[in-house]
Structure 1
Amino acid sequence: MELFAVVVFLLYASQDSLTVTVEVYTGAQSVVLPCQYSKELVELVTVKWSRFDLDPNIVHLRREEDDKLAQNQLFRGRTSLIVDAQDFGDFSLTLKEPQLSDSGIYICSIDQEMLSDVQLNVREIFPTWAKVLLVLLVLLVLLAVSGGLLFHFRLYFISVYKVEVDPGVESVLLPFKTTVRLPEGVRVKWRNSSGRMVHSNDRVEHRLYRNRTKMKKKLKSGDFSLTLKNPTDRDTDIYTCIVYKRSSDEILTKKQVLLNVKAGADSFIIAIDFGSGYSGYAFNVRPREEGGGTQLKRWGEELGLDSPKTPTCFLLDEDENFLKFGYEAKTAYNKMRREEAEKHYFYEDFKWRIRYLVSKVKISRSSSSLGPAVTSMNSPVFSG
């Protein structure tokens, strides 16, 4: 699946300076470094884009045509000027696939006369330090969760005998046969991964399995297989059968069976990606074998886009009521006049800001006896 990156360029310069700052995120197809010349050019000029922190420092050079041999190899095949740049006085440089190492100050000049310098900042949508932090947070969460969650993941990693059935069957057999010679009068217990009693020949089973399980009455044959009636996807679990001596807790034999009951045709699956920079969702209401397919929400149609994700931002009115989300929110806010925009609330990258507020609250709680610090959504931390 091809993903389309939407890039917002931030250009700002004072009247007393030629410096322009351009910001772009990694993953963008290209970025344009602006350079304009307002006077008429009669003779052919030499256009040079350079970065003095590199050796050689030439990013792009055009005399009568582009000089690729003089160009720093880091930019080969990645830079271009428009064909009639001199006729239009537009010497803007297009840089394809911007990378973090492309950040720096770029000088645009013609015949040794500097026209402008551009500060390019290439940023990560999800920086490396944030990825490391997220991994650590996930590990901490996994360590802190209850044993039930750990048992859930054991369903996929533990080496056990596997049984899989379709929904709606009358019963399913969890097989357990042994050739080991066993003494008379053994005790048999079937339990699920939560320790609940599924079936026993000397104890009452849990209410979830009552009147739904059956074993052979004669156990001398070594067949301890369990029949589970009317299985549903809620019965998907690891079941353990342990055979004990009648008069003690000594284990004679043991087996585990993984039962997987497929979800029915009326199942509904949804996946939501609520990211720091972009968000999206997909869903499926029918199994693939019945012609069902994953439905992926497309965004940006009103802007001529077809993207599987939309910016994670939202727009509120002056009473802090929700108005729009994603591309719609960003487009509506950008179209507002200054007076109108000042009456609205526009938030983006707020997940990181919320984490910042949470960290401030924790610091406040640990260092002050006056209680947690309270920060308003309209504070500088959240200003749109």
Structure 2
Amino acid sequence: LSSCPTHFVLCCLSVHQVEVESGTESVLLPLKVPRFPWFCIFRLLQVDKVEWMDGGNRTVHVNQNGHNQPEEQNWLYRTRTRMDENLLKTGDLSLTLSWPTDEDEKTYICSVYSRKGDVLMEKQVWLKVKVQQVEVESGTASVLLPLKVPRFPWFCIFRLQVDKVEWRDRDNRKVHVNQNGHNQPEEQNHLYRTRTRVDENLLKTGDLSLTLRRPTGGDKNLYTCRVYSRKGDVLMMKQVQLKVKGQ
């Protein structure tokens, strides 16, 4: 190994762009290292750690010695990321991020470290998240923020685990809560009380759409629906941007 470099950095200058719609189950931030540098250079230099960070210097995912380290993640990403645990053999350093929202729209940096702490490689990926837009005239009787879960994931995956469906606005105010198939008006913010409706039969239908009555300019907002399991895990998430015209 004396002829091998002791410090080698492969820096990918171009920023790869990935686009996804909010409400998609997951998005892949791709990083597959070509066979030559991975097997002939990096593995000989004894890769110790692969780390994904976001543009705000928050830890997104860490894999050390082939093992994921969830305790090192920022809370924003906990339970939402996945990497190939066999990456030391495959060279596939791609990151899977579950249920992307507009808050995930940013740059992500993957760094590969040697056991000496040297950076062997770096690459950046820009994630763009598209949010569904709904437009309505002020004074309209009601507006629908649509969210109909496809039959397969709802009936085969979510239905048996769902505990709560919750809509919130960008300011984290509770717009509507349905728990165990029953609406919970006492949990709503006063701005939305008596003005919202969801299908009380949603556990059977998978229709999580929110109806908002008498929309005004003050309702122009970003609305996020989260579906929680009985353990409190987020099973799915989607955002809808409401624009109210005439104000």
On whether the aligned pair clears a TM of 0.5, the verdict is no
Quickly name the TM-score band, shorter chain normalised. Answer: 0.3 to 0.5
Structure possessing the higher radius of gyration over alpha carbons: 1
Higher helix share: 1
Higher strand share: 2
Give the TM-score normalised by the residue count of structure 1.
Answer: 0.29
The structure whose RCO (Cα within 8 Å, separation 6+) is larger is 2
Give the TM-score normalised by the residue count of structure 2.
Answer: 0.44
